[in-house]
Chains A and B, each alone.
Chain A
Amino acid sequence: MLISLRNVEKSYPHGVGRTYVLRRVNVDIKEGEFVSIMGPSGAGKSTLLHILGMHDSAWSGEYYFMDQPVHRLTPKQRSELHKKHIGFVFQSYHLLDNLTVYENLEIPLSYRNVSRKDRQSMVADILDRFQIVGKKDLYPNQLSGGQQQLVGVARAVIANPQVVLADEPTGNLHSAQGKESGATIVQVTHSEVNASYGTRIIQLRDGWVVDEETSNQRPAVHV
């Protein structure tokens, strides 16, 4: 199993009690799956995704990633694991405003001991794959929202991660360029259409996993 969550809970102190964001979440994700996490606003979807992405470490329970017990790792070890295996597409893109498209794409490679020559070649390849060669010297504020997210997706897959986690990726992750990465994908989405690209849907309500269904259990969604 690539990802395995056991009784994962996240809560905040609230008055004399606690407010729970996630309750006893048990999820298994196999290699190559394309999983969609769905549910109403405030259900805990993005929180779950950030826990999977190892950005959030304030939770309880057990999380195994490639058989490594994430819940027992130090922040440095988690960061190493994230760096090696995970690409993240943020909901609001989170490109660095003072860097060009080229430099933004180079960031994940610069922390992975990739040589300068290889970095140039990988960035050139991804620019070509996402058909944004002409935008490489532009800054994020010179791009449209869709183009910024395309760069965000390209940045997430440039280092060929085993897992891509995407928070509301609209259509860009499902494009031919996004699919080519061959990675396991976990996306948070409100869109039935976007979820239809996946192999499984996990439904969250008030922090609980209330339903899981595979693609062959759902009626087809016509785009």
Chain B
Amino acid sequence: MISDLRYYSVAQRGREIGIRMALGTQARDVRALIVAQALRMGAAGLAIGLVGARLATRVLDSLLFGVSASDPLTFAGVSASLVAVLLLAAYLPARRATRVDPMVALRTE
């Protein structure tokens, strides 16, 4: 679903990407732009999620037996997995975006 959203978001920005490439942007710059924006959104989401999860541990602690609800390794592992998924979901549409023919993007105004 994250990947679908990123594809949609990149498709919406076809004109912008075409103009940037027509102005001399290299493919790697476009990829970096798209991935950086996705990471910024992801970082904000992750921060909110971590705070929410930390608050939830107070309730969960009483329901768990033999496991800590605030296990740092679990928090770190889940965060790393989410970032990896986000990176992949952002990179694939970014790679496709750099194959945009500037002439096609400039014509579709």
Contacts and interface: CB of A to CB of B under 8 A. Distances in A.
A90 B106 contact: yes
Interface string B84-109: 00000000000000000011001001
A135 interface: no
B24 A111 contact: yes
A88 B22 contact: yes
A55 B102 contact: yes
Given A79-B26, A111-B26, A55 B103 contact: yes
A76 interface: yes
B103 A111 contact: no
Interface string A46-67: 0000100101100000000000
A82 B106 contact: no
B19 to A, nearest CB: 5
B65 to A, nearest CB: 52
A107 interface: yes
Interface residues of B, number: 15
Nearest to B21: A79
Interface in A21-52: 50
Contact of B22 (A76, A92, A94, A98): A94
A108 B24 contact: yes
A83 B24 CA distance: 5
Contacts of A108: 23-24
A82 B16 contact: no
A55 B102 CA distance: 6
B106 A76 contact: no
A83 B102 CA distance: 14
A73 interface: no
Contacts of B22: 53, 55, 88, 90, 94
Interface string B38-52: 000000000000000
A90 B23 CA distance: 10
Given A79-B26, A111-B25, A55 B16 contact: no
Contacts of A80: 26
A193 interface: no
Given A55-B106, A92-B109, A98-B16, A76 B26 contact: yes
A50 B103 contact: yes
A96 B26 contact: no
A98 B25 CA distance: 17
A155 B20 CA distance: 12
B13 to A, nearest CB: 9
Contacts of B21: 79
Interface of B: 16, 19-27, 29, 102-103, 106, 109
24 contacts: A50-B103, A53-B22, A55-B22, A55-B102, A55-B103, A55-B106, A56-B103, A79-B21, A79-B24, A79-B25, A79-B26, A80-B26, A82-B24, A88-B23, A90-B22, A92-B109, A96-B16, A96-B20, A98-B16, A107-B23, A108-B23, A111-B26, A111-B29, A112-B24
Q: Which 10 A-B pairs have the closest CB atoms?
A: A83-B24, A94-B19, A55-B102, A82-B24, A56-B103, A55-B22, A111-B25, A111-B24, A108-B23, A55-B103
